[in-house]
Amino acid sequence: MKFGKMLFILIFLLTNLFAHVNNVNLTPQAQDQNKRFFTPNVVLIERKIIDVESDEDFLKYNLTGLGTIEKPFIIENFNITNSEEFSIGNISDDNRAGIYIRNTTKNFIIQNCFLKGYYSGISIVLVKENTGIIRNNIIQAYSTGINIVESDELKCEKNYCSAKNFGISVTGSKKVQINSNYCFNSSKGIEMFFSDYTIIESNNASSNQIGIKITGSDSCNLYSNTCENNKNGIVIGNSGVLKIPEDPPPPDLKQCLLKFNLLLNNTEYGVVLEETARKCRIYDNFFVKNKKDHQAFDAGKRNKWYNYWEKEGNYWSDLGDKKTYTIDGPAGSIDRYPLNENLERTSLFSYACILSLTLVGLIITRIQRRKKK
């Protein structure tokens, strides 16, 4: 290789290396968290509750659609408000849910509705897999904004939920997709309760006791969520499960993946892995200004706070000069590969740096040989 070409390669690599290191802006996943929420801008029609307990009941409401995949029943543009003050002692068929769908096999979409003053805003129970979509609704409920029970492969997206207990609750359901919802001012913003293979992506769960809670649910993937101003951001484990002495112990929770989540200003921990959490993977997340000194807690076993193969951990706002980050809790976990704000290794000694030093050595050797001549 000619001397001039070697020098050009060296300058190019060093320029890119330092540009890469000095760029400290948050990634697009973190920047765009608060731009995903929808407010209906259509004229809403006031009506009483919608109560569907069989396929035939859809026909009572003169809905558009046929209940097929191509032409689902559409429940949209309704203002369903309970004018009477709700109390826990007067639950009835008239106020248990603004929209209640149970035991159906037809396809349906619930969208662009406003629901207020019911025990649950929208309740979906025992419907056929992959038949329901709940999107673009605003819900203020007493107990639960959106309640999904034993109904697999439903989609819940771009809803705005506030309730005393849960913004969105999913129980005994598999492969449910929870995307781009805003859940706030609840005990738990989003909860998965014994619901496996769930995707929870691009949601904002803020100003709750717990932002997102995973209870007894295997293989849940949490991507690009914002959990801000909660007591705890994300909690994974089995606490809160009703235990009867003769029952077997709760199953271990395995192989949940947390990636690209923003855990910000939670008064306790950004992420908590409880005693039954096993083999969870937590990396490429942002932990910013959560509990002082320890922003995460791990009481489980064999959980990894970094990607071993990529040598990538998480961003910690209080890392300082430390080369690793210690996770609070009895598990003794460590993030061995902390990242900067661009989710890049904090160490400057990268492959580009190694290659640059190698080229420097070759150039010096070449110069010395020329001088000898």
Q: Which domains does the chain have, with CATH numbers?
A: 25-341 (2.160.20.10)
Q: Quote the CA–CA distance of 356 and 118 in Å, as a whole number.
A: 65
Give pLDDT, residue 292: 82
**Residues 6 or more apart in contact with residue 106 via CB below 8 angstroms:** 55, 58, 67, 68, 72, 73, 128, 131
Give pLDDT, residue 371: 60
Q: Quote the CA–CA distance of 284 and 263 in Å, as a whole number.
A: 12
Place of tokens 């025990």: 119
Place of tokens 């999913």: 170
Question: Across-strand partners of 120?
Answer: 97, 144
Positions of the chain with pLDDT lower than 70, given as ranges: 1-41, 83-95, 238-254, 345-373
Find the farthest-apart pair of alpha carbons in the chain and give their distance in angstroms, rounded: 100
Please state, as a whole number, how many other Cβ atoms lie within 10 Å of the Cβ of residue 373: 4
Amino acid identity for residue 208 in this structure: N
Give pLDDT, residue 255: 79
169-204 residue pLDDT tens: 999 999 999 999 999 999 999 999 999 999 999 999
Question: Across-strand partners of 326?
Answer: 334
Q: Quote the CA–CA distance of 229 and 270 in Å, as a whole number.
A: 10
Torsion, Cα of 302, 306, 309, 311 (10° steps): -140
Distance between start and end Cα atoms, the chain: 18
